[in-house]
Structure 1
């Protein structure tokens, strides 16, 4: 009997996709579970591996049908350390981890790290809940919209339009009416070249606005601050979330304050300058350290959100590269927040002023959602809600 020889090549980014594809052609349930780990193919990057350990990885990967790529000269011991790329299915990596737990040279710890990375990667598609005083944030069902409220006189995007507390509260209500799931309030501009202010001035700007928002707004309220004193005062007042652009690194007390309140926290990647050894690896390492810091101080693991920090400590090409590699943040196993709204990256690419960056923002929001972003932080809530709904219809159709 003749049959159609046409071939389709399908990208399988996660277990949900693999299971759906097999179910669609009639594979039975037990078969789906057995074959899913063989359908998922990964490239794992390891940094600065000793040559002895790298050679063992090479042998063990080849023995399981996978591959390990490393610097030339490792096999002949002419280099002492190397980065390593492991190419393997999920099943091959599971078998590798089983073998490595019996090895030396740090490979037993690598076995644990491999299992944790695979678990985090595959767990990102699950529906999760972040508990907040004003009601839970449901992560994974749809993209959440964080509306930006700057109560600063020198904001890059709105020129201090909401510096007056009354105008700020009115705008917050408008953002909620337009569909914001979270209101993010900032009292200090973080635009390039901004003038830092102390905690007292920051709180002077925030307090009158937050007192009214806590009483009037029904969605979770986030405060954008890197100062522990401000975070404590805001949490005492009844704010739900702390959004720290320095990943709890700028103030040594920030992690302990957040832990004391068991508050949800957004940790963003940031650094002085734009020099990196390995852009995405460095960002992931920074965020992992922040995650451990918060968890060690009592913040529940499910309350931590990560942000790659578009526009912070990165030049244009680095920002664009991160935008194209957002999916790699899945390995952290945390909800991902993306803040690109009206930023200079868009202005530089399109050669447009701040007030003409709506379409560029929409493109970055759609691109982020397509790569697994859970929350988008935006100025134009109504428009970006529509972008998110349309993108979700495609990305989250399962």
Structure 2
């Protein structure tokens, strides 16, 4: 006899492994939810809420770690770490729905989180007539900067014909989306007026829309720019401020029925619990989008590597990227040639391909659905290899 170990991430995998030992259908249906263990964190619970939660979780064989002062109410609030199988969570949530003190609403949030952690099934996103498919393979977003000062390719594609040529090149190399930007976001960048941003983007956009077959995303946080590019025919808006930069942007995107990418950003690198705060920031962006009429199915999230984060914090986000799956939205990862690679490997901007490749491969293993890159040909190959391992996707399926 030999002993092995199985790492079970979701119900589908649990059913597969139980069936593989020869269990009958009734058996694997019953046992699968016992094979998946989840650890969830709740923040800001009152002692009353925490005591009920702990009691109900213990009653089902799970566990709930709380602050020491919860029992005698000597703390005002506490975080709670829940530890249980899916079967235990089901009974716990059903009981929580019957409880007062706001616990019924918490039960609904826990239920949603657990559903999201099962992963994105194959789904299609309508990008104003163009379709993106998530869940089967990783999509590659090729960067096209029509700027004089971007950190990597500033000035190379200011000319419309040069930009068009590059757009065709990266599509041939495997880009599923083109991300067109008119404003540099590198550290110390010089902001420009809305009119200048339009002047840079619109001629390029008009040209590539005529001959490029993949969806075009425009990287802007301004409602006025978004309105004109969507009117011109752009398919997606990529907002680096998750609808905080311009209050009118959400309404514009909703009006044109366009998908939106919401990125975490900020003005400080000081966090109490960084990943929880990133999730809170993105969840609020999702709420703003939905309140404006943008459906959840049209939202993509981005942890914002290189934005409002130190070198070590960027590495931590990459290590913990999988935690973003709790939001239930496709995840965009943008690490291409960024300073996190420069500072780790001590390399100039033109020598960061291998570092980018490492972040892409590990990002895909941690749940990335789209990777935003400069070196499309090489990264598309890395993505396909990673997909063969992680998603069992090879040569079209």
TM-score scaled by structure 1?
A: 0.97
Are the counterparts in 1 of residues 128 and 258 from structure 2 also a CA contact under 8 Å?
Answer: no
Q: CA deviation at 1:15?
A: 1.5
Structure 2 counterpart of 1:220: 215
Matches within 5 A, 1:14-33: 14-33=10-29
Structure 2 counterpart of 1:254: 249
Question: Which of 151, 157, 178 matches 1:156?
Answer: 151
Q: Deviations for 1:175-213, whole angstroms, at most 9, x for unmatched residues?
A: 001010000000000011101111100000001100001
Secondary structure at the residue paired with 2:186?
coil
Is it true that 1:51 corresponds to 2:82 in the alignment? no
Question: Which of 60, 63, 72 matches 2:59?
Answer: 63
Q: CA deviation at 1:135?
A: 2.5
Secondary structure at the residue paired with 1:394?
helix
Are the counterparts in 1 of residues 120 and 330 from structure 2 also a CA contact under 8 Å?
Answer: no
Structure 1 counterpart of 2:309: 314
Structure 1 counterpart of 2:112: 116
Question: Which of 66, 72, 80 matches 1:84?
Answer: 80
Secondary structure at the residue paired with 2:261?
strand
Q: Deviations for 1:125-146, whole angstroms, at most 9, x for unmatched residues?
A: 4000011245210101110000
Is it true that 1:385 corresponds to 2:380 in the alignment? yes
Secondary structure at the residue paired with 1:136?
strand
Matches within 5 A, 1:281-292: 281-292=276-287
Are the counterparts in 2 of residues 306 and 337 from structure 1 also a CA contact under 8 Å?
Answer: yes
Secondary structure at the residue paired with 2:269?
coil
Matches within 5 A, 1:102-141: 102-122=98-118, 124-133=119-128, 135-141=130-136
Q: CA deviation at 1:76?
A: 2.4
Secondary structure at the residue paired with 2:127?
coil
| d(CA) in 2 for partners of 1:290, 1:109 | 20
Question: Which of 209, 213, 232 matches 2:204?
Answer: 209
| d(CA) in 2 for partners of 1:269, 1:353 | 26
Are the counterparts in 2 of residues 148 and 379 from structure 1 also a CA contact under 8 Å?
Answer: yes
Are the counterparts in 1 of residues 180 and 219 from structure 2 also a CA contact under 8 Å?
Answer: yes
Question: Which of 262, 266, 290 matches 1:267?
Answer: 262
Q: Deviations for 1:154-186, whole angstroms, at most 9, x for unmatched residues?
A: 010113111111111110110001010000000
Q: Give unpaired runs (5+ residues) of structure 2.
A: none
| d(CA) in 1 for partners of 2:88, 2:223 | 45
Greater Cα shift, 251-260 or 19-28: 19-28
| d(CA) in 2 for partners of 1:36, 1:308 | 31
Structure 2 counterpart of 1:75: 71
| d(CA) in 2 for partners of 1:33, 1:342 | 46
Q: CA deviation at 1:262?
A: 1.3
Q: CA deviation at 1:17?
A: 1.5
Structure 1 counterpart of 2:328: 333
Q: Give unpaired runs (5+ residues) of structure 1.
A: none
Are the counterparts in 2 of residues 151 and 185 from structure 1 also a CA contact under 8 Å?
Answer: yes
Greater Cα shift, 66-75 or 337-346: 66-75
Q: Deviations for 1:212-233, whole angstroms, at most 9, x for unmatched residues?
A: 0111110000000000111110
Are the counterparts in 2 of residues 134 and 218 from structure 1 also a CA contact under 8 Å?
Answer: no
Aligned-residue Cα RMSD (Å) equals 1.0
Q: CA deviation at 1:295?
A: 1.2
Are the counterparts in 1 of residues 130 and 235 from structure 2 also a CA contact under 8 Å?
Answer: no
Question: Which of 247, 271, 274 matches 1:279?
Answer: 274
Structure 2 counterpart of 1:7: 3
Q: Deviations for 1:346-383, whole angstroms, at most 9, x for unmatched residues?
A: 00000001000000000000000001110000000000
| d(CA) in 1 for partners of 2:375, 2:201 | 22
Secondary structure at the residue paired with 1:376?
strand
Q: Deviations for 1:298-350, whole angstroms, at most 9, x for unmatched residues?
A: 11211100000000010011100000001111100000000000000000000
Q: Deviations for 1:258-281, whole angstroms, at most 9, x for unmatched residues?
A: 111110110000011101121000
| d(CA) in 2 for partners of 1:336, 1:96 | 29
| d(CA) in 2 for partners of 1:208, 1:125 | 36
Structure 2 counterpart of 1:42: 38
Greater Cα shift, 300-309 or 13-22: 13-22
Are the counterparts in 2 of residues 54 and 82 from structure 1 also a CA contact under 8 Å?
Answer: yes
Are the counterparts in 1 of residues 147 and 200 from structure 2 also a CA contact under 8 Å?
Answer: yes
* Number of aligned residue pairs: 393
